[in-house]
């Protein structure tokens, strides 16, 4: 399980409870696992959900709230406790801490104050003070055009990460109309993204895993909807809820995007930590790559995450040189994947990832190396340079490839 806090709350006041829920849902390092409106029922909620953190509002009945905190501390010592109250009385704060609460928060809760308290708890619980160690790593795979190998790359990244038994990995097929990640994994899923979306409020971690299809590599698949009529059920709002549950349940999530760059796709790009933009060295693909990069560079929540990956390097037919491609897109290439059409077709037709189909092939080793770079503790130095790399001339350099245009001069 990833380093995300599972939280349960109790507050008999409906209005303040809803406000607290809205705040928690907006915080990416927590998953709201359960809520309760009665103090006397909350121990049963804790027994069932076993959260990392219980938040108790004291304002409805201070004495009963303090008694509940004492009971929870005694019965569930592994569950951390926060208290919330409108009162700032020093004696109440002292009693609350003595009862067993780690934090006393003043209502209405400030998001920054709550986030800081959660950060302290995470540092203590998971990372020993190293905040870099926590959180679910989410990787999006998108293409500059169709047919560039996004699904194959996404599937193999997921399977490569899952080969480490310490990792728990989910692959989400967001090509809602024509996704085929299930084909690459030779799977016939019982449930789809629509089923999880419609039941996300009722799912816990165990039910979520039962709703996903598990591959022999250890990778869990959440496939695209079965019926085209169901596509409208997947919205940015519902997707955020699904990703919140996935983030709290898995150490890694890989997302295979569609080529439409819809609002659903853009939401996924915002939520992911890394965005791989797949391109081939041909003119139409590079032209689209420039268009996409120019658009993404205008989005603060996405632009610094993008890494350009060139697929099918070495394909002789009509390929543009890598040097000219770099001049065109205006940034460095994060990784190159060699062309091996035969192996990739066999992998797809047999429904086996590369590590099972052809473990010694050059393309397999390349994808494994790229996976290690993506999930490694130290970010690749060249990728760091890309974040501040040149954005100049991206809008016009692709024009130099058109017939009749002058060749690019050498970059000084």
Check which CATH number belongs to the domain holding 199 and give it: 3.40.50.300
Assess whether 178 and 87 both reside in one domain.
no
Q: Quote the Cα angle for 157-235-159, to 5°.
A: 10
Smallest CA-to-CA distance from 352 within 192, 211, 159 is with 159
H/E segment holding residue 278 = strand 274-279
**By three-state DSSP, how is residue 180 classified?**
coil
Look at residue 84 in the predicted model and tell me its pLDDT.
Answer: 97
Residue 126 has pLDDT above 50, yes or no: yes
264: pLDDT confidence band, cut at 50, 70 and 90? very high
Domain stop point among 131, 155, 190: 131
77: pLDDT confidence band, cut at 50, 70 and 90? very high
Look at residue 124 in the predicted model and tell me its pLDDT.
Answer: 82
Q: What is the DSSP string of 51-96?
A: -SEEEEE-TT-HHHHHHHHHHHHHH-TTSEEEEEES---HHHHHHH
pLDDT tens figures, 319-364: 788 888 888 888 899 999 999 999 999 999 999 999 999 999 999 9
Q: Quote the Cα angle for 22-82-38, to 5°.
A: 70
Domain stop point among 115, 131, 147: 131
Q: Specify whether the CB–CB gap between 257 and 288 falls below 8 A.
A: no
Smallest CA-to-CA distance from 116 within 108, 130, 105 is with 105
Assess whether 309 and 237 both reside in one domain.
yes
Assess whether 213 and 123 both reside in one domain.
no
Look at residue 127 in the predicted model and tell me its pLDDT.
Answer: 53
CA–CA distance, 109 with 127 (Å, rounded to integer): 26
| Averaged pLDDT, 98-103 | 96
- State the chain's mean pLDDT as an integer: 86
Residue 289 belongs to a domain: yes
Residue 406 belongs to a domain: no
Assess whether 83 and 150 both reside in one domain.
no
Assess whether 313 and 384 both reside in one domain.
yes
Assess whether 81 and 161 both reside in one domain.
no
Of 6-20, 80-94, 111-125, give the lowest mean pLDDT range.
111-125
Residue 15 belongs to a domain: yes
Q: Specify whether the CB–CB gap between 139 and 243 falls below 8 A.
A: no
Question: How many structural domains does the chain have?
Answer: 2
Domain membership of residue 296 as a residue range: 136-401
Cα distances (Å, whole numbers) of residue 105 to 31, 86, 97: 19, 9, 11
Buried b or exposed e, range 286-306, using 16+ CB within 10 angstroms: bbbbbebbeebbeeeebbebb
Domain stop point among 131, 149, 169: 131
Assess whether 335 and 191 both reside in one domain.
yes
Assess whether 336 and 232 both reside in one domain.
yes
Residue 411 belongs to a domain: no
Assess whether 367 and 352 both reside in one domain.
yes
Structure tokens at 215: 């591959």
Of 103-117, 137-151, 153-167, give the lowest mean pLDDT range.
103-117
Look at residue 30 in the predicted model and tell me its pLDDT.
Answer: 85
CA–CA distance, 282 with 280 (Å, rounded to integer): 6
How many Å separate Cα 119 from the centre of its chain? 19
| Averaged pLDDT, 361-374 | 96
Residue 407 has pLDDT above 80, yes or no: no
Assess whether 196 and 73 both reside in one domain.
no
CATH number of the domain residue 61 falls in? 3.40.50.2300
Assess whether 254 and 377 both reside in one domain.
yes
Residue 412 belongs to a domain: no
CA–CA distance, 133 with 139 (Å, rounded to integer): 16
Residue 22 belongs to a domain: yes
CA–CA distance, 249 with 132 (Å, rounded to integer): 18
Residue 409 belongs to a domain: no
Residues 6+ apart with CB under 8 A from 239: 197, 264, 267, 268
Residue 22 has pLDDT above 80, yes or no: yes
Assess whether 242 and 123 both reside in one domain.
no
Residue 310 has pLDDT above 50, yes or no: yes
Smallest CA-to-CA distance from 375 within 153, 144, 81, 160 is with 160
Cα distances (Å, whole numbers) of residue 77 to 52, 127, 134, 205, 255: 10, 20, 22, 21, 37
Residue 10 has pLDDT above 60, yes or no: yes
Residue 408 belongs to a domain: no
Q: Specify whether the CB–CB gap between 3 and 126 falls below 8 A.
A: yes
């Amino acid at each position: 399980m990833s380093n995300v806090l599972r939280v349960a709350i109790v507050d008999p006041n409906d209005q303040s409870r809803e406000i607290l829920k809205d705040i928690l849902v907006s915080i990416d390092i927590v998953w709201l696992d359960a809520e309760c409106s009665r103090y006397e029922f909350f121990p049963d909620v804790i027994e069932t959900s076993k959260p990392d953190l219980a938040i108790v509002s004291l304002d409805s009945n201070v004495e009963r709230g303090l008694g509940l905190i004492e009971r929870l501390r005694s019965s569930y010592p592994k569950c951390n406790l926060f208290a919330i109250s409108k009162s700032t009385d020093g004696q109440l704060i002292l009693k609350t801490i003595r009862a067993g609460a780690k934090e006393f928060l003043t209502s209405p809760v400030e998001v920054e104050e709550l986030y800081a308290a959660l950060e302290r708890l995470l540092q203590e619980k998971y990372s020993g003070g190293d905040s870099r160690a926590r959180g679910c790593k989410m990787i999006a795979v998108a293409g500059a055009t169709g047919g560039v190998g996004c699904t194959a790359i996404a599937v193999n990244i997921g399977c490569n990460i899952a080969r480490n038994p310490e990792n728990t990995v989910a692959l989400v097929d967001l090509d809602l109309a024509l996704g085929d990640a299930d084909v690459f994994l030779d799977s016939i899923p019982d449930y789809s993204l629509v089923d999880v979306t419609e039941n996300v409020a009722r799912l816990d971690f165990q039910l979520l895993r039962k709703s996903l299809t598990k591959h022999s590599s250890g990778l869990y698949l959440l496939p695209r909807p079965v019926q085209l009529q169901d596509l409208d059920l997947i919205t940015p709002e519902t997707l955020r809820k699904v990703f919140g549950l996935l983030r709290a349940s898995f150490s890694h999530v890989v997302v295979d995007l569609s080529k439409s760059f819809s609002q659903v796709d853009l939401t996924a790009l915002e939520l992911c930590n890394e965005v791989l933009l797949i391109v081939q060295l041909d003119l139409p693909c590079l032209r689209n790559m420039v268009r996409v990069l120019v658009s993404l560079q205008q989005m603060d929540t996405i632009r610094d995450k993008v890494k350009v990956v060139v697929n099918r390097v070495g394909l002789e037919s009509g390929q543009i040189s890598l040097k000219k491609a770099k001049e065109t897109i205006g940034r460095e290439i994060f990784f190159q994947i060699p062309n091996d059409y035969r192996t990739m077709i066999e992998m797809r037709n047999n429904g086996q990832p590369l590590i099972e189909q052809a473990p010694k092939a050059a393309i397999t080793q390349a994808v494994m190396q790229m996976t290690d770079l993506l999930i490694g503790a130290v970010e690749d130095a060249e990728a760091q340079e890309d974040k501040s790399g040149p954005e100049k001339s991206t809008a016009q350099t692709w024009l130099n490839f058109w017939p009749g245009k002058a060749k690019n001069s050498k970059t000084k």
